[in-house]
Structure 1
Amino acid sequence: MQSTVEVSENALTERQKDVLDAALTLLVEAGDTLTMTSVARRASCSKESLYKWFGDRDGLLTATVQWQASKVRGVPVNREAFDLNSLTAGLERFASDWLRVLCGTISVALNRVAVGHAGSDKHDLGAIVLENGPFAMARRLEPLLELGRDTGLLHFQGTDEAFRTFFGLVVRDVQIRLLLGDRLELTGAAIDRDARRATQQFLALYGAHTKAAGDGH
């Protein structure tokens, strides 16, 4: 059964947010052993409320992953005032949010559990994280990338290819190092610096000047 609410900050009540935060905390502490009963107990709510809001356990897991992913803000696009500065600022903000979420204790724990589920007969948290993590991030960034292409600021053939390149430039080896237990500590300033670096590298690959230089040959 799927979640009965669209999990975004604006769609959730404060009570539902508290419940999902409790579920995230339990995933960090208990991993595979998270149950509707344990979440209800931790969040001081009834199981009936959990079933009403989120459906079954898979629905709760999906909503929990979506709630964590919602911390990466979408990038508003304004066609009338869109230029290289707004494209650059949007990419940098998205990259910075993304790194902050990925580097957090909750995301690391959640991804470790998801990797353990992948390809198993358990509740497929791996598929839930894949759909509501990287795939959802691609859908969230797609409007900005396509507006950049439509306005001639970016040049690429496929949006998916462009997103995957951006993903690689932003995340690099950070996620795998954290998953394997590296005590990598990134300050807010370091994350913002890495976001700027990734954006500049992306623009160097796909920016309008790249096509212009190529046309000169």
Structure 2
Amino acid sequence: MLQASADIDTSETLTERQKAVLDAALRLLVEEGDNLTMTAVARRASCSKETLYKWFGDRDGLLTATVQWQASKVRVVPVDGESLDIASLTASLEGFAADWLKVISSDTSIALNRVAVGHAGSFKRKPGKDDLGAIVLENGRFALARRLKPVLLAGKQAGLLDFTDAETAFRSFFGLVARDVQIRLLLGDRLELTEAAIGGDAVRATQQFLALFGAKTGRRATDL
């Protein structure tokens, strides 16, 4: 059975066949919303239900792996705490920001988040049904925080960042990157998020974050 941890880069633990199955599950979520079944995924992915149960355990495990696979597309460039400088820290933060904007603006993520929000807000969830909202939250936003915080803490240890709480610093960076983009997309706004626009937004968010949390004794990105 595939046991993919939220703190592990799922793309490193999946086979190409498993990735194809999870892509099929994502497409079904876009098309059918919460009415996702193991039978439907097996049919769409041209595999047996036995294979799905072997890899993912059950529907809950399949949904978790699907969200992890989508979240793994937001890469966190590792940094060396001992030799970390402002240039490498900036590059890591900009890369994370750009990847995250690309992922949340995709049709797949928009549909997945709409289903998750609707599922979380349902007061009449059927007994025994998994909580897709909780799965998306734990394996999306919370998992990304666990992956990026070591970079922020390395920046603090290197004297480049100054903050008292890593969670607060992460939330500030997340907010600078997202702004109102995600909520507008979820509500149907057709934003033009081109590669150039995403790259510019990633740079802007990183510079604003460094202006807020850059150590006064360290070199800022704008000093390079």
Does TM-score exceed 0.5, indicating one fold? yes
Decide which of 130, 135, 143 is 1:136's aligned counterpart: 143
Inter-partner Cα distance in structure 2 for 1:141 and 1:43: 33
Tell whether 2:98 aligns with 1:100.
no
Tell whether 2:212 aligns with 1:187.
no
* Structure 1 moving runs of 4+ over 4 Å: none
Inter-partner Cα distance in structure 1 for 2:83 and 2:195: 29
Which residue of structure 2 aligns with residue 215 of structure 1?
A: none
Moved more, 119-128 or 176-185: 119-128
Which residue of structure 1 aligns with residue 159 of structure 2?
A: 152
Aligned length: 210
Decide which of 168, 174, 178 is 1:171's aligned counterpart: 178
Inter-partner Cα distance in structure 2 for 1:73 and 1:91: 10
Q: Contact 1:117–1:123 (CA<8 Å) still a contact in 2?
A: no
Map Cα deviations across residues 73-106 of structure 1 (whole Å, 9 max, x no partner): 1221112431011111110000000000010000
Q: Contact 1:66–1:133 (CA<8 Å) still a contact in 2?
A: yes
Map Cα deviations across residues 118-140 of structure 1 (whole Å, 9 max, x no partner): 14324200000000111011011
Decide which of 190, 209, 215 is 2:216's aligned counterpart: 209
Q: Contact 2:29–2:112 (CA<8 Å) still a contact in 1?
A: yes
Give TM-score, length-normalised by structure 1: 0.93
Which residue of structure 1 aligns with residue 74 of structure 2?
A: 72
Secondary structure of residue in 1 paired with 2:173: helix
Unaligned runs of 5+ in 1: 213-217
Which residue of structure 2 aligns with residue 4 of structure 1?
A: 2
Indicate how the Cα distance of structure 1 residues 119 and 182 shifts in structure 2: closer, same or farther if over 3 A, else same.
closer
Inter-partner Cα distance in structure 1 for 2:132 and 2:68: 12
Which residue of structure 2 aligns with residue 14 of structure 1?
A: 16
Indicate how the Cα distance of structure 1 residues 105 and 210 shifts in structure 2: closer, same or farther if over 3 A, else same.
farther
Letter in 1 for 2:138: E
Decide which of 49, 58, 66 is 1:56's aligned counterpart: 58
Secondary structure of residue in 2 paired with 1:16: helix
Tell whether 2:89 aligns with 1:110.
no
Q: Return the offset for 1:112.
A: 0.1
Secondary structure of residue in 2 paired with 1:147: helix
Q: Contact 2:160–2:218 (CA<8 Å) still a contact in 1?
A: no
Which residue of structure 2 aligns with residue 29 of structure 1?
A: 31
Q: Return the offset for 1:211.
A: 9.1
Give TM-score, length-normalised by structure 2: 0.90
Q: Going by fraction, where is helix more abundant, 1 or 2?
A: 1
